[in-house]
């Protein structure tokens, strides 16, 4: 029995070490590389879209999407630097995590708008140019930022820095605003904010993609659908 227990403990330690190793590879190698690729790719996208000269609303949405994803990639790189700059890692996290989450939602909102635009373009091709005019698209892009910042604004007030070790290091502590409204903030973030990001927006993209796919398939087969 003691032998079996020691073998189980050894296996558990190996599993934990494997998890830590994989996590470190993801955090310190894969994620930074993907973020750098994202920065380069979005810069190229912006240059190509700017030089293309096209003024249609789809290009405007793609430009805004590339800019949002570029900012997201830069914020992700900034967040990863806190792993290597331990002294000020807490400050980097406090002031970068909120904008990072907001930009992630902004990117998803752009994908949702583009998905809806594609559905209208495929299903109602003669109406898309009247619905998606440049002024409305610009207004929609502005609304996306206002909506996301407003919806996820509690992230800016949840934590604050605390200097320790004779003011030479910083740790993260809950802010007084968060402590005073902890239950309401947690309920709001877990029931409203999280569902928008993880359920509503992906559902819109998936449903729109399915509609477009079915419509194109029916068109190819020359079958009436809608």
- The pTM assigned to this predicted structure is 0.83
Residues in the chain, pLDDT under 50: 1, 3, 7-8, 10
- Per residue, what are the HEC states of the chain? CHHHHHHHHHHHHHHHHHHHHHHHHHHHHHHHHHHHHHHHHHHHHHHHHHHHCCCCHHHHHHHHHHHHHHHHHHHHHHHHHCCCCHHHHHHHHHHHHHHHHHHHHHHHHHHHHHHHHHHHHHHCCCCHHHHCCHHHHHHHHHHHHHHHHHHCHHHHCCEEEEEECCCCEEEEEECHHHHHCHHHHHHHHHHHHHHHHHHHHHHHHHHHHHHHHHHHHHHHHCCCCC
Q: What is the structure's pLDDT at 202? A: 92
Tens digit of each residue's pLDDT (9 = 90 or more) over 88-100: 678 888 889 999 9
Q: Which CATH number describes the domain made up of 2-221?
A: 1.20.1070.10
Q: What is the structure's pLDDT at 82? A: 73
Tens digit of each residue's pLDDT (9 = 90 or more) over 142-157: 999 999 999 999 999 8
Q: What is the structure's pLDDT at 103? A: 95
Task: Sketch the domain layout of the chain as residue ranges.
Answer: 2-221
Q: What is the structure's pLDDT at 204? A: 94
């Amino acid at each position: 029995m003691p032998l079996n227990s020691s073998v189980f403990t050894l296996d558990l330690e190996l599993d934990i070490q494997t998890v830590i190793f994989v996590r470190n590879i993801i955090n310190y190698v894969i994620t930074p590389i993907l973020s750098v690729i994202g920065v380069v790719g979005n810069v190229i996208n912006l240059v190509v879209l700017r030089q293309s000269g096209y003024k249609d609303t789809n290009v405007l949405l793609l430009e805004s999407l590339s800019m949002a994803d570029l900012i997201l990639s830069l914020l992700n790189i900034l967040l990863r630097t806190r792993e290597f700059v331990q002294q000020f890692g807490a400050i980097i996290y406090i002031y970068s995590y909120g904008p990072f989450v907001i930009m992630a939602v902004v990117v998803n909102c752009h994908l949702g708008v583009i998905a809806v635009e594609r559905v209208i373009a495929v299903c109602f091709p003669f109406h898309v140019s009247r619905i998606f005019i440049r002024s409305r698209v610009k207004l929609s892009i502005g609304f996306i930022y206002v909506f996301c910042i407003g919806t996820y604004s509690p992230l800016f007030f949840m934590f604050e820095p605390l200097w320790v070790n004779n003011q030479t290091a910083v740790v993260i502590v809950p802010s007084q605003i968060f402590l005073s409204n902890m239950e309401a903030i947690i309920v709001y973030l877990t029931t409203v904010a999280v569902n928008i990001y993880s359920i509503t927006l992906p559902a819109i993209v998936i449903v729109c993609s399915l509609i477009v796919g079915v419509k194109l398939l029916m068109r190819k087969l020359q079958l009436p659908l809608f």
